[in-house]
């Protein structure tokens, strides 16, 4: 069993090294110490526009439900940690319930508060409180918490691709959201089509623009439909075949029928 675990870790490190990413917080049953603050409205999702530095939209709605957080460098990782899920809990304040709550990294905050710093939405911060003491806990300011990495389960959802505003025939920017398990995507590749609409069978790597948004700056007019190939942090590969149609539009969602398992 130990040998199998070592092989899994070695494979993960190999994948991360291949795509040039440093490993973030790994999955563990152990609780790690951190500091927590909150921002935005007391019962909000953080930013006033329900967005954040990851590029996710409508973080006040399912599956985020305002249970969101900024991550500092080891958590946000310049966008590589966007979409990761963590359980958090607090126990050393009279208002704390001690019960774990799950949050998703959707934003960034690099202020040097602690080695691990969760700058939570008001909703997520208050969710750690005992019943009726949400506001009292929020008044505590900076608090000590414990956290651990957990898989993401966006029940009923497939991976969604949002073609970002500004995309045009020679520039394609795509937001990837609702990825299960790791919650993160470490590489996104695109396959164009021939004028006939048949796939070219050639994968072109996209590069991270910011957060969970990937971009391709082409030297030719891009030809849809587009297939997208995603690689997760744990090395799983999922392909959404011709998910973006030939007559695609910027600032538009294109839902897939694929999901990480």
CA nearest to 82, candidates 52, 123, 117, 42? 52
CB atoms closer than 10 angstroms to residue 117: 25
Assess whether 63 and 134 both reside in one domain: yes
Q: Are residues 129 and 237 in the same domain?
A: no
What's 70's domain CATH number? 2.40.40.10
Average pLDDT score over the chain = 91
Select from 147, 174, 205 the last residue of a domain. 147
Q: Residue 26 — very low, low, confident or very high, per pLDDT cuts 50/70/90?
A: confident
Peptide bond into 63 cis (omega under 30): yes
Residue 259 lies in a domain: no
Tell me which residue range forms the domain holding 72: 30-147
CB atoms within 10 A of CB 49: 11
Is residue 7 situated within a structural domain? no
What would the pLDDT profile of 50-83 be if each residue is shown by its tens digit?
999 999 999 999 999 999 999 999 999 999 999 9
What average pLDDT score do residues 123-132 get?
Answer: 97
**pLDDT tens string 131-145:** 999 999 999 989 999
**Does residue 19 belong to any structural domain of this protein?**
no
State how many domains the chain has.
2
In a domain, 189, yes or no: yes
pTM summary value: 0.88
Assess whether pLDDT exceeds 60 at residue 5. no
Using CA atoms, how far apart are residues 171 and 213, in angstroms rounded to an integer?
13
pLDDT confidence of 28, banded at 50, 70, 90?
A: confident
My answer on whether 113 and 197 are in the same domain is no
Asked whether residue 20 is assigned to any structural domain, the reply reads no
CA-to-CA distance for 16 and 3, rounded, in angstroms? 20
Q: Are 91 and 54 in contact (CB under 8 A)?
A: no
Q: Residues 157-197: pLDDT tens digits?
A: 999 999 999 999 999 999 999 999 999 999 999 999 999 99
Q: Check residue 27 and report its DSSP letter.
A: B
- 136 and 236, same domain (yes or no): no
Out of 147, 177, 196, pick the residue that ends a domain.
147
Are residues 49 and 124 both part of a single domain? yes
Q: What percent of the chain has pLDDT over 70?
A: 91
* CATH code where residue 167 lies: 2.60.40.760
Assess if residue 193 is contained within a domain.
yes
Closest CA to 54 of 103, 126, 122: 103
- Whether 4 has a pLDDT exceeding 70, the answer reads no
Indicate whether 226 belongs to any domain.
yes
User: For 209-230, how does the pLDDT look when each residue is reduced to its tens digit (9 = 90+)?
Assistant: 999 999 999 999 999 999 999 9
Closest CA to 227 of 248, 250, 251: 248
Answer yes or no: are the C-beta atoms of 34 and 71 closer than 8 Å: no
In this structure, the answer to whether residues 195 and 242 fall within a common structural domain is yes
Both 143 and 171 in a single domain? no
- What pLDDT is stored for residue 24 in this prediction? 66
């Amino acid at each position: 069993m130990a040998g199998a675990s070592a092989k899994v870790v070695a494979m993960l490190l190999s994948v991360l090294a291949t795509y040039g990413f440093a490993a973030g917080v790994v999955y563990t049953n152990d609780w790690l110490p951190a500091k927590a603050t909150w921002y935005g409205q007391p019962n909000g999702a953080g930013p006033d526009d329900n967005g954040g530095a990851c590029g996710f939209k409508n973080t006040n709605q399912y599956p985020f439900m305002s249970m969101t957080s900024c991550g500092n460098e080891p958590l946000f990782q310049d966008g590589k940690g966007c979409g990761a899920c963590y359980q958090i809990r607090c126990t050393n304040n009279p208002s704390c319930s001690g019960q774990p709550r799950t949050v998703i990294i959707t934003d960034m905050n690099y202020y040097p508060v602690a080695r691990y710093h969760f700058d939570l939405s008001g909703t997520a911060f208050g969710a750690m409180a005992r019943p009726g003491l949400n506001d009292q806990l929020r008044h505590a300011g900076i608090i000590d918490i414990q956290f651990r990495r957990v898989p993401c389960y966006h029940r009923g959802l497939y991976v969604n691709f949002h073609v970002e505003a500004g995309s045009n025939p020679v520039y394609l920017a795509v937001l990837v959201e609702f990825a299960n398990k790791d919650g993160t995507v470490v590489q996104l590749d695109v396959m164009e089509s021939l004028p006939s609409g048949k796939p070219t069978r050639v994968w072109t790597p996209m590069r991270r623009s910011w957060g969970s948004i990937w971009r391709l700056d082409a030297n030719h007019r891009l030809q849809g439909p587009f297939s997208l190939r995603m690689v997760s942090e744990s090395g799983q590969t999922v392909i959404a075949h011709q998910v973006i149609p030939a007559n695609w539009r910027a600032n538009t969602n294109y839902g897939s029928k694929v999901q990480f398992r």
